[in-house]
Each structure stands twice: as C-alpha cells, then as structure tokens.
A and B are shown apart, each in its own frame.
Chain A
Amino acid sequence: MDEEQLFKEISDNVVDMDDEAVEDLCEQTLEAGIDPSETIQMGLIDGMNRVSELFETEEYFLPEVMTASFAMNAGIDILKPHIKQESSETPVSLVIGVVEGDTHDIGKNLVKIMCEAAGFKVYDLGKDVPLDSFIETAEENNCDLICMSTLMTTTMEGMRTVVNKLKDRGIRDKYKVMIGGGPISQKFADLIGADAYTPNAHAAVLKIKEMMGAN
C-alpha cells in the first residue's frame, strides 16, 4: 500500500472502531518510513474527525465515539515514540478537567476527544481537579482557554471560584472560560461570569473556533 492508501485505511478503521487493525496499519507506516506526525494527522485524526461528524448527525453515539477514540489512541501509542520533533505551529490550546469533588468524566472526555480531533492542544487534568490546578496549568502552558465540567450541583460552584481566582490574580482576560455538564446552563454561565456554556462536545468545538477566530 502506498502512503495515501495507508492513511485512508487507518482513517476507515478508526471509523470502524477496529483497534487491532489500526495498530497493524500504524506499524506498517513506521516500516515504510512514513512520518508518524503525518500518519496521526492524515490517518488517525482524520478518522476521528469523521467520527465527530457521525456523532453530530446522530449516526454515532457515545459507545461508538468511545470505542473509536480507543482505537485512535491505540494508534497514537504506537506512533508517538517515533515522533522526532513537535511541530513549531502553535495551535489553540486549552486546559480541561472535571472540577474538584466530582469524578464524572464522560462528558469531559468527549469534549477532549472532539477538541483533539479538531487539532487543538489539550491539557487534560482528568477528574476531581483541584481548582488552582486549572489556573496553574493554563499559566504554565500559555493556554487560550480554561474548560471545566461537572455533573453535580454540589461542585458547580467550584467553577465560580476559578473565575473569581482569575479575577483576583488580574488574569481573567488572558483566558476564555468555557463550562459544561448536566446541571450547567447559559444562565449559570452568566451568573458566574464564564465566557461560554456549551451543551455538547460538538458545540464546544464550534464555540472554541468562534472565540479563537480560527476557521
């Protein structure tokens, strides 16, 4: 198979959620001396982008997205050690996590997957994230956005605390703050002074692009 065929096969197998086939094909690209960054972009991410579209049109739901993402990550695990140098481009970057006190991370993971497929650099802090970590990570990595998620009403006030901490440190305007999760609404975003509320992962990606003025 030539390069283009391999990329297409990889992309197709991400869409088909076949992690073993993706792994085999990624190995083949390495043997053929293809730049692993290219394979990630043209094969794995391309496939995940198609998965995003299928999710948007409700042909795919969470089970398919999760399984496809699992296949994509299996490919990335194989390719990553062979990447010589990170590209010098500076993509939109964001820190994301589930706020302190809450461990429900499916929604956050979905937003992360879609953001990575859109080409954003994502710093994923995971779940039950201490509130200061959002700010510290954003500062250390010069992020553009701070994204917070929670499914619980008891922890949603943590989002307000982060916004207030940003204000206290005089760096509120450095970041766009986007929030989401089951109990969260535009009303709550307005109440705490967040820049955006988005109801799902697809809307989150569109909103980030809009706020960052990217394509």
Chain B
Amino acid sequence: MIEKYLHGLEVPKDELTAIERTTLYAQGKDVDRIPASLDTGETMAPLMGMSIAEYYHSSEMMCDLEVYLQENFHSDGAGLSTTLRGMAEAMGSEIAYFDDNISQLKTPAIKSLKEIDSAKLVDVDKDGRLPIILKGLAMVKEKLGKTVPISASVTGPFTIAAMVMGTEKLMIGMIKAPEKIHQLMDVIVENNNRYIQRLIDMEIGIGFCDPVSSTSLINEKQYKEFSLPYLQKNVDFIKSQGAGCGLHICGTSRKIWEDLRDTGISGFSLDNCESLLEAKEVLGDKMTIMGNVPPVDVMRYGTPQDVLRSAKACIRDAWDSPCGFTLTSGCQMPTGTPTENMTALMDAARIFGRYPLDIDLLNSED
C-alpha cells in the first residue's frame, strides 16, 4: 500500500459504491469523484498465483480473480472478456494456451477462401470456452453485481474474422475476393448476436474490443466496407433490446471517429497513441470518453508517481467531456504491472477527480 504520495497529496475516501457512482454519473447527477476502471483480465491471473492457461478454462478462477481485484483495488467495474480469440475458437480456430502468457491463435479455422462456405454457426452453450465464460459471468454478477457494474468484453466482428482466417489472409481476401469476406462477416455477426443475447438476458454490460479495425491496419474506406457495417448490426441488435455498449480500438483510430458518431455506441475507449482532448471534441457530445494512461510505458514500467502524473493529464483533458469521462488505461494492463501502479491509477481519480474539481491542482506541475 502507498502511505503517502509526493507533495503530501491526500487520498479522499470513496463515498459511493461503484454502481451508485456510475449510475448517478451517467444521469448527470452529483457524485464523489470521476469514475475510474482498471482494464484487467487474464493478464492479472498471476497476481493470485494462477496459471493463465488454467484461468482461461475455469469459471471459478475467473470469478475469484474478479473478486480479488475488486477487494484490492475497487475499480468502478468488473467483468470477463471473451478475449480476442474466444469467438474464433468457438468457430473452430485452434488456440495455444500458456501458463505465463496470454493465449494466441495457432491455426485459423478457415484456411482458404473456399472454406468460408462452411464457416460455422456457433452454439454458445457448447463451443470453445464460451460456456465457461458465460458461467463465469453469472458467478461474477452474483458475487459483485450488487455494488459493481458487471460487463463483458465482446470481440468486434472484423477482429473475429482476423482470428478465424489469420490477419494476412483476411487482408488479401479483402482485395482479391471481397464478396467472400462479406459472406464470412455475416456469419460472424450472427454468432456475436447469439452470445450478446445471453449477456443481455443476464443484464451484463457490453464492450466491444476491435483492434484489427485500427487505422494502423486498414484505411477508413476499408473500415466502412468490411468492419463498421457488421459492428453496426451487433450494436443495433443490442439497442433494439434497450441495452447499450462501448467500443475500444487499440492503435490509431482518429480517422474513423466521425464514422462512430452516429453508431449509437455509448462509450469509446481510446488507445494512448490518440488524444483524449481531440476525442472529447469529436465524440464527446455523443458518448462517454474513456482513457488513456499508457499501459506499458507508465502502468507496467513507470512508478506510482508516473501514473499520477499521466492520469492527472487525462483528467485535465477530458473531465468536462459533455457525455462524461472514465479514467482508465489506454489498453489492457500487462502481466507484471506493479500493484502500486494499479492503486495509483484509482487514487488519481480520488485525488484529481474529486468533486468539486480543484482546477489549480489539475493544472499544477507534477
């Protein structure tokens, strides 16, 4: 635990539960501080001495880790991710698991464009790890759901396609046989909807993670042809049932922000390589902005003081975003992130995000 930060900064105690805070904040009502959430998941399994491979295959371990993280860090959210490969695995991709590393795509389900004709519709109660994750989510919801918002991370359709075909094959397919890629995307949309239906039934929040849609990989035109229309189908499916969802894109994404404005997405979480200030201006009147302390340079390799400095800059840039702001890291925190730094991120919201905001403190050097 951190006894005291530099310059005698005090850490005011939280006065609301996470669910009270996030609910009131979303309604535009007064709260104790700016919401903050830790982007955790399987990379934190080693904190409890768990093998990451075993964690992936045990609903109980998934739930235990969420409870542990909540008890120790009090993030304004808890939940489980399908991982970027979960749906692809259910569709037949072979995934490699490791005790000390996150899983990786080993063999894609679809090895040639022809095989797209036999792309598989999944059974969320049977295929891959989906039933394990759904059971884990039900357990987390029961354990923590009274005080903490529970959400599930779902993979964006285009990223699923990359994990089903291999990214290079997908990229070449977009040029050589666009109609086949569209055919595959339709199957993926249906599979995602089947999974999403369960989440809605359990009243669990939904956040899409879609790194392969980054403009680091494809251009805006390709995004609008191969990725966005299918994400939109999932979003529409969610909204038609009165629920909402967020989106995270790793890497660059600035050029597609205008396209996101009217999707109906209620929150956008940006990578640390993009600007919160700009996101506030372009997207802030349409959705909550979330971000974006650097997960590697600051969270993993920095000091608690570095975390405070970076988090303060984030709050300074985005606290007044019209539809709200949530402090978090620019992507999932890596394995080996010091627990002091995780505490410091939450404390930054308590210190610098305390209402009424102390603007002089926010603007102070260091």
Could you list which residues of chain A lie within 8 angstroms of chain B, going by C-beta atoms?
17, 58, 61-64, 66-67, 70, 101-104, 106, 109, 152-155, 182-183, 185, 187-188, 191
Q: Which residues of B contact A106 (CB under 8 A)?
A: 167-168, 217
Whole-angstrom distance between the Cβ of A25 and the nearest chain B Cβ:
18
Whole-angstrom distance between the Cβ of A18 and the nearest chain B Cβ:
10
Contact of A154 among B102, B219, B222, B295 (CB under 8 A): B102
**A17-B176, A61-B222 known; 6 other A-B pairs, CB under 8 Å?**
A61-B215, A62-B217, A63-B222, A106-B168, A153-B296, A155-B101
Residues of B in contact with A, size category = 20 to 34
Whole-angstrom distance between the Cβ of B85 and the nearest chain A Cβ:
12
Verify B172–A63 contact, CB threshold 8 A. Answer: yes
Q: Which residues of A contact B171 (CB under 8 A)?
A: 62-63, 66-67
Whole-angstrom distance between the Cβ of B251 and the nearest chain A Cβ:
7
Known: A61-B218, A63-B222, A70-B172. A188 touches B297 (CB 8 A): yes
Q: Which residues of A contact B172 (CB under 8 A)?
A: 63, 66-67, 70
B174 proximal to A (CB < 8 A): yes
Could you list which residues of chain B lie within 8 angstroms of chain A, going by C-beta atoms?
96, 98, 100-102, 104-106, 167-168, 171-172, 174-176, 215, 217-219, 222, 250-251, 295-297, 300-301, 334-336
Verify A182–B250 contact, CB threshold 8 A. Answer: yes
Can you report 23 residue pairs joining A to B where beta carbons are below 8 Å apart? Answer: A61-B217, A63-B171, A63-B172, A63-B218, A63-B222, A64-B175, A66-B168, A66-B171, A67-B172, A67-B175, A67-B176, A103-B96, A103-B106, A109-B168, A153-B295, A154-B102, A155-B101, A182-B250, A183-B295, A183-B296, A188-B297, A188-B301, A191-B301
Contact of A153 among B104, B175, B334 (CB under 8 A): B334
Q: Report, nearest first, the 7 A-B pairs whose CB atoms are least far apart.
A: A153-B334, A63-B171, A183-B296, A67-B175, A154-B101, A61-B219, A66-B171
Question: In the complex, what distance in Å separates the CA atom of A213 from the CA atom of B98?
Answer: 42
Whole-angstrom distance between the Cβ of A68 and the nearest chain B Cβ:
9
Verify A187–B297 contact, CB threshold 8 A. Answer: yes
Q: Which residues of A contact B219 (CB under 8 A)?
A: 58, 61
Q: Which residues of B contact A191 (CB under 8 A)?
A: 301
Verify B101–A17 contact, CB threshold 8 A. Answer: no
Contact of B175 among A17, A101, A154 (CB under 8 A): A17
Verify B334–A183 contact, CB threshold 8 A. Answer: yes
Verify B217–A153 contact, CB threshold 8 A. Answer: no
Whole-angstrom distance between the Cβ of B279 and the nearest chain A Cβ:
20
Q: Which residues of B contact A153 (CB under 8 A)?
A: 295-296, 300, 334-336
Q: Which residues of A contact B218 (CB under 8 A)?
A: 61-63
